Amino acid sequence: MGNRFPTGIRFSMIALAMALAFAAPARAQDAAKYPDHPVTFVVGFAAGGAVDIVARSIGAKLQMLIGEPVVIENRPGANSNVAAIYVAHAKADGYTLLVGANGMTANMALYPNPGFDVEKDFTPVASLGEAPPVLASGKGFSGADLRDLVAQAKAHPGEMAYGSPGAGSSAHLTMELFQRVAGIKLVHVPYRGGAPAISDAVGGHIPLLAVNLPEVLGQVASGDLKILGVPSLRRHPLLPNAPTVAEQGFPGFEASTWWGLFAPAGTPKAIVDKLNAAVNQALGDDEFRARLLQAGGVAKTSTPEEMAKFIVAERAKWTKIILEAGIKAE
C-alpha cells in the first residue's frame, strides 16, 4: 500500500509519539516526589479576613503533613479576581494554589469579564469549610423572629431596609434568594465591608443586617444583635438557640459562605489526589476544627470530584439570582 505520509511528517509523528511516551513517566515521577519545595497559597483578600485566617490555619497543618513550608501570599482586588487570574495562569505543578471562596462562582455573573472561568481554568482540590451568612436585627427592628420580619415586609413592601458588606457579597446574594422564597421585597443598603454595616445595625440606624456569622459573634454574645435566621439545614454549633431559616417555615433553604482549595487546570491528578488526602487529614485535626469553629466556621471535607460538582451547582444557583436581580459588582 505504501506510506500515506511524506517522510518529514512521518518523522514528526514519531517524535510526537516518543515525546508523549516519555511525558507520562515524567509526570508520574514529578507527582511521586511532590512536594520538594515550598507550596504557595494565594489569597484574594487582605490579611486578617476570614479567607486569610482559613488559609493560614489549614496551611500550618498541611505543611506538617507534606514536609514543606506553605507560604501565604495575599493578592487582594476585584473581589478576589486578581488572585484567581494569577493562579489560573500559574504553572500547573501543584506549587501555586488558590484558597478561594464564593466569589469564584458569583463573579462569573457579577463581572462582564472576570478574567477567568471557574470551571475551565481551575482544578478543584478540596473543600476546606463553610460558615453561614446570617440575618440579624438590631435596635431598629421591633419583631421577634423571621416570621415577624416576613409579616412586616409583606405589610410594607419595599420599605424595610437591610445592610450588607456590599453588592454581590455572599450575604447579599443569600438575602436576594430569601426574598424570592419568602415573597417579600426589602431595600438593600450595600456598605463597603461588614464593619460599617454592623456598626449601623448596632446603633439602630438600620434595622436588619445580612453578614457572615464570624463577623458578628461578638455583637451577638453581647446582645447588641439578634440572629433571626441561620441559612443552614442544622443549627450552628455556636448558636444552638438561633433557629434556622428552614425551621421557620422555609424548608430546605440553605446558603453558605464556603472556602476551597484550587489548582490551575491541567495539574496532574496524582498531585491533586495527594493534596486532597493531606487536606482532608488536616481538616480532621481536632485543634484545627476547634480553631475554625471559634471563628464561626465548620470544617468540610470532599473529594476533588465532589468539589467540582459543587462548583458547577453554585455557579448555576447564584448566576440565576444575580441575573434576575440585576446585581452588578461595585
**Domain, as residue range, for 114:** 34-131+257-325
Q: What is the pLDDT of residue 30?
A: 65
How many other C-beta atoms are found inside a 10 Å radius of the C-beta of residue 82? 14
**What is the spatial distance between Cα 14 and Cα 7, in angstroms, rounded to a whole number?**
11
Cα–Cα separations (whole angstroms), residue 194 to 5, 133, 205, 285 = 66, 11, 15, 30
**What is the spatial distance between Cα 135 and Cα 188, in angstroms, rounded to a whole number?**
13
Average pLDDT score over residue span 38-56: 92
Q: Does 305 lie in the same domain as 168? A: no
The residue from 226, 248, 270 where one domain ends is 248
Q: Does 244 lie in the same domain as 137? A: yes
Cell 454592623 sits on residue: 198
Q: What is the pLDDT of residue 193?
A: 87
**In a domain? residue 311:** yes
Average pLDDT score over residue span 139-164: 94
What is the sign of the dihedral through the CA atoms of 223, 227, 232 and 234? positive
The residue from 195, 214, 248 where one domain ends is 248
The residues, any chain, with a CB within 8 Å of residue 127's CB and separated by 6 or more, are 258, 259, 260, 300, 301, 302, 306, 307, 310
Q: Which residue has the higher pLDDT, 21 or 270?
A: 270
The residue from 248, 267, 294 where one domain ends is 248
> Residue 88's closest CA among 76, 100, 73?
100
The answer on pLDDT for 216 being more than 70 is yes
Q: Which residue has the higher pLDDT, 330 or 194?
A: 194
Q: What is the pLDDT of residue 6?
A: 55
Q: For the residues of 191-242, what is the DSSP string, one character each?
A: -SSHHHHHHHHHTTSSSEEEEEGGGTHHHHHHTSSEEEEB-SSS--TT-TTS
What CATH number is given to the structural domain containing 181? 3.40.190.10
Secondary structure, 3-state, 112-173: CCCCCCCCCCEEEEEEEEEECEEEEECCCCCCCCHHHHHHHHHHCCCCCEEEECCCCCHHHH
| Cβ proximity of 282 and 61 under 8 Å | yes
pLDDT band at 324 (very low <50, low <70, confident <90, very high): very high
Whole-model pTM: value is 0.85
> Residue 60's closest CA among 299, 279, 295?
279
Sheet of strand 257-264: strand arrangement: 70-74, 39-43, 96-101, 257-264, 122-131, 298-299
Q: Does 216 lie in the same domain as 79? A: no
C-alpha cell belonging to residue 22: 516519555
Q: Does 206 lie in the same domain as 272? A: no
Tally of domains in the chain: 2
Mean predicted lDDT score pLDDT of the chain = 91
The answer on pLDDT for 270 being more than 60 is yes
| Cβ proximity of 79 and 298 under 8 Å | no
pLDDT digits (tens, 9 = 90+) for 229-266: 999 989 999 999 999 999 999 999 999 999 999 999 99
**What is the spatial distance between Cα 114 and Cα 65, in angstroms, rounded to a whole number?**
34
Q: What is the pLDDT of residue 292?
A: 87
pLDDT band at 296 (very low <50, low <70, confident <90, very high): confident
Q: Does 276 lie in the same domain as 241? A: no
**In a domain? residue 159:** yes
Cα–Cα separations (whole angstroms), residue 90 to 79, 107, 120, 170, 267 = 19, 20, 14, 27, 10
The answer on pLDDT for 142 being more than 80 is yes
Q: Does 226 lie in the same domain as 313? A: no
